[in-house]
Amino acid sequence: MLDKLIKYFVYATKGHITKTQLIKFLYLADLYSVKWTGEQLTQLDWYYYRFGPWNEDIDSALNKINGKEISIESEYNTVFIKLGVEAENIEFLQLPLSLKLMLDNIRREWAGSGQDKISQLLDYVYNTAPMIDVKKKHKPEEKVKLNLQLEREKLIKELD
């Protein structure tokens, strides 16, 4: 599923996405899925590391499809994930409509260039329940597993 989600966000943004945005989008996709269904979309163990949600398997997945469906390019201090020579249409990913709607909400809300857009995305991600919980107890250089279930617990409390 990780490969499909990566491709979805790169295809849906027409290759105008930074690696930072992509990682945050993947985190939000898993977080929202846990929030509403109790289950993650990916098998990633998310960690708080260097200020944000992270998992080393994302780099492996990106490297596996780099040069094919996506193209990884660095400019200045930013890594861009662009459309590759073998990029397909989103429809080829065969994602359920409900999942596409959720992913598209993430893309519509947070995609785009400019420091304001990135800052808003980072602020939102850093204020999710799993991130708040870990930031209170740990330093950015520590690698600490995030508990995505905290977002679901927060929702359940709000609904009671």
What tens digit of pLDDT does each residue of 141-150 get?
889 999 999 9
Q: What is the reported pLDDT for 72?
A: 97
Q: What is the reported pLDDT for 139?
A: 85
DSSP conformational letter for 70: E
- Predicted structure pTM score: 0.95
Q: What is the reported pLDDT for 10?
A: 97
Q: What is the reported pLDDT for 140?
A: 82
81-120 b/e with 16+ CB inside 10 Å = b? bebbeebeebeebebeeebeebbeebbeebbbeeeeebee
Q: For the sheet with 78-83, list strands across it.
A: 17-18, 78-83, 70-75
Angstrom distance (rounded) from CA 50 to CA 108: 26
pLDDT above 90: percentage of residues in the chain: 87
Mean pLDDT of the chain: 94
Q: Which tokens is 26 given?
A: 């993947």
Longest dimension (CA), the chain: 50
Helix (H) or strand (E) holding 53: strand 52-54
Q: What is the reported pLDDT for 141?
A: 85
Angstrom distance (rounded) from CA 128 to CA 141: 19
Closest among 149, 153, 118 to 23, alpha carbons compared: 118
pLDDT > 90? residue 97: yes
What tens digit of pLDDT does each residue of 6-41 get?
999 999 999 999 999 999 999 999 999 999 999 999
pLDDT > 80? residue 51: no
